[in-house]
A and B are shown apart, each in its own frame.
Chain A
Amino acid sequence: MSHNWLFQNGRIIDPDNGVDRQGDLLIVDGRVAPAGEAGPDSVRTIDVQGCWIVPGLIDMHVHLREPGQEYKEDIITGTRAAAAGGFTAVACMPNTRPVNDCASVTATILERARQGFARVYPVGAISRGSRGESLAGYGELKDAGAVAVSDDGLPVHDSQLMRRALEYASDHRLAVISHSEESALARNGVMNEGIVSTRLGLKGIPTAAESIMVYRDIALAEYTGKPVHIAHVSSAMSVDLIRSAKARGVNVTAETAPHYFTLTDEAVQDYNTSAKMNPPLRTEADRRAIHAALADGTLDAVATDHAPHSMLEKEVEFDLAANGIIGLETSLSLTLALVREGVIDAGRLVELLSVNPARILGVAGGSLASGEPADVTVINPELEFDYREESVVSKSKNSPFFGWPMRGRAVLSMVGGRITFDLLGRV
């Protein structure tokens, strides 16, 4: 396959390099070529009139379920879904079976990912077996290719262990991603605590269960001077804590997921298990606070927390249903809706979905500078599509967004000059 391409007549949005212009982008030998250079004879031209050309999108929080739960998703189907959603790279959480807490699991994931449709950045465990007791081997995880550590799915209860994780991980240049949850407050909870949980008779999870731990993590980052990244921020209270920590100069970054800025706990109405996740969907006030935080830089990234589950885990009583929804194929459209609503501009969208995730994880990408690997996403911001169960690329179908009016999507994804998804019908 040719690795020489010329995208013509697109809007190139590359905020990391201060670029937002109408023009062409040349790819030679899988890398971005200097602007204005003439391509080799073998170059193939793609007219992307009306589309945006942006650095490849990076989802820094997904669950690919391999190894161990391939009936829900595997690295091939998960990265295919990623490519279809415009993502050229994903960071996969370690709560696989076995837990990715050592070099051999990391290596297995990376080996398998060579057949995939997106770059895969493994996230190792903070603690052995994610049991919250002792540090996993960060040195060997890093050597094997992990980019971060997290016990995602579970909080690190032990603050001493969390402190040591922040300190030791920074030795090995691994980001620490915290699933911030105070589990005694969240115990047995299945949705946000409030009027909707009362109406449905479901056990609630107060926002304090999140924000208490967000503050714990901020306090440790502030005290140690080491960075921490807060995963899936869902509440106004957490947003306020992060905003004021950043103002003090604390090295904290944070992500939220599209469902938190799109839906509220009203989506649980009728015991819809496709609206069950942890942290839970919150209130309209929380949703608005997340909008503001995405706009003002308090939140750095949009990550899906893509969590495939089969019918076995979801077609059950609400109390018993597994947490999480798939998100790779809807994230971009839902974030584009924020651009249309005027919450953020297109450049900010690219920061949230590409530039910042690359910086936080310390990986390549997020830039279309000359010489960078040609990880490129072409977005048609106006293309409407039907998001239906039958059209889902992911192996699992647990989404609350079926039937939603989706407008704007990726029409082409390219990883290192190789086209991994093409809605223009070229490959």
Chain B
Amino acid sequence: MSSGYHFSQKHILGIRDLSPEDIDFILQTADSFKEISSRAIKKVPTLRGNTIVNVFYEPSTRTRLSFEIAAKRMSADTFNIAASASSVTKGETLIDTARNIAAMKPDIIIIRHSHSGAAQMLTRYIDASVINAGDGTHEHPSQGLLDMMTVREHKGRLDGLKVAIIGDILHSRVAHSDILGFTRMGSSVHVYGPATLLPQGLEELGAVVCSSLEEAVRDADVIITLRIQLERQNDPLFPSLREYAQKYGVNREVVKLAQPDAIVMHPGPINRGVELMPDVADGPQSVILDQVTNGVAVRMALLYLVMGNS
């Protein structure tokens, strides 16, 4: 770390806003917090007296729980607001909610929302730090960071790695954060999926768009599979889940094309037998549970850093 470096992000809205130095610093900080998680007493007083509000407009047990555990391990006071699906169809609701929460003077707001840009919008109405826990099909920066942390832990570096991202790139905020993050840290990101699920401009984001699963995965150091959202099947972008599993699913044969020590990741929850076969998900190359563990450490680091501690 260069001596003049200072972490100065007030909000974590997307990997897009983070420099390589920021990412590196967050990952270093997360590494040190991971140690706390391995202690018998997994709690530090760092954020005592700070109020953190979780606002989840979309059901997400995992991410919400991960942030909540992170906050509790740092002794912050946490509150959850689960907005019911029926009350969020109108935009006024987000602003009203934002103003109401602002009146409670929280220090950090963690928001999950089905519309891209919702987290950024919140920053216009609220003084608190805002952490984006996933907005629409935009970004999911804490997931991108925990993915990078997990890879770095296993590979010792990010620079020069081949990272294959397979599946629904179009609707995946995880894919967007991963592409931005890994390319920024010097990895070579290769993406593949049905052409109907590849958005425009991926090359300009720095990804290599592959024309076959084999091309994407061959000699890869990391394979990231993405969740197919079953509810999108009423606007079908591919003919059937069965065909998807056959043509785009990651199975043991596919993994064999990668480096022998390649690791396999998935942001969860997995549709077993669709985008990822059970023998791979539970096999020796899978680091999916490490991702979950690292998620808490990364989120502790983010809470810590946005409060101006560095």
User: Which A residues contact B (CB, under 8 angstroms)?
Assistant: 193-204, 270-271, 312, 315-321
- Tell me, in angstroms, the Cα distance from A133 to B170 when the chains sit together: 35
Given contacts A198-B201, A201-B136, A201-B173, contact A321 B91 (CB under 8 A): yes
How far is the CB of A394 from the nearest CB of chain B, in Å? 22
Query: Which listed residue, A200, A201, A316, touches B91 by the CB 8 Å rule?
Result: A316
Pair B205/A320 contact, Cβ less than 8 Å: no
Pair B202/A317 contact, Cβ less than 8 Å: no
- Not counting A203-B137, A319-B116, A319-B136, a sample of 6 additional A-B residue pairs whose C-beta atoms are within 8 angstroms of each other reads A197-B199, A197-B200, A198-B202, A201-B138, A201-B173, A318-B115
How far is the CB of B126 from the nearest CB of chain A, in Å? 14
- Tell me, in angstroms, the Cα distance from A195 to B202 when the chains sit together: 7
- The verdict on B237 contacting chain A, using a C-beta distance below 8 Å, is no
Pair A198/B116 contact, Cβ less than 8 Å: no
Pair A200/B138 contact, Cβ less than 8 Å: yes
Given contacts A195-B205, A201-B135, contact A270 B120 (CB under 8 A): yes
How far is the CB of B173 from the nearest CB of chain A, in Å? 6
21 intermolecular pairs with C-beta atoms under 8 Å apart: A195-B200, A195-B205, A196-B201, A198-B199, A198-B200, A200-B116, A200-B117, A201-B116, A201-B139, A201-B173, A202-B137, A203-B137, A204-B200, A270-B120, A271-B116, A317-B94, A318-B117, A319-B117, A319-B136, A320-B115, A321-B91
* Chain A contacts for B200, CB-based, 8 A: 193-195, 197-198, 204
Main SS of chain A's interface residues?
Answer: helix
How far is the CB of A265 from the nearest CB of chain B, in Å? 11
Q: Which range contains the number of B residues in contact with the other chain?
A: 20 to 34
Question: Scoring B residues 169 to 181 as 1 if CB is less than 8 Å from chain A, else 0, what string do you get?
Answer: 0000100100000
Pair A195/B204 contact, Cβ less than 8 Å: yes
Most chain B Cβ neighbours within 10 Å, of A195, A199, A200, A201? A201
How far is the CB of A175 from the nearest CB of chain B, in Å? 36
Write the chain B residue with the least CB distance to A270: B120
- Tell me, in angstroms, the Cα distance from A198 to B199 when the chains sit together: 6
Pair A316/B95 contact, Cβ less than 8 Å: yes
- Tell me, in angstroms, the Cα distance from A195 to B198 when the chains sit together: 12
Given contacts A200-B116, A201-B135, A201-B136, contact A271 B204 (CB under 8 A): no
- Tell me, in angstroms, the Cα distance from A317 to B202 when the chains sit together: 24
- The verdict on B39 contacting chain A, using a C-beta distance below 8 Å, is no
- Tell me, in angstroms, the Cα distance from A88 to B243 when the chains sit together: 62
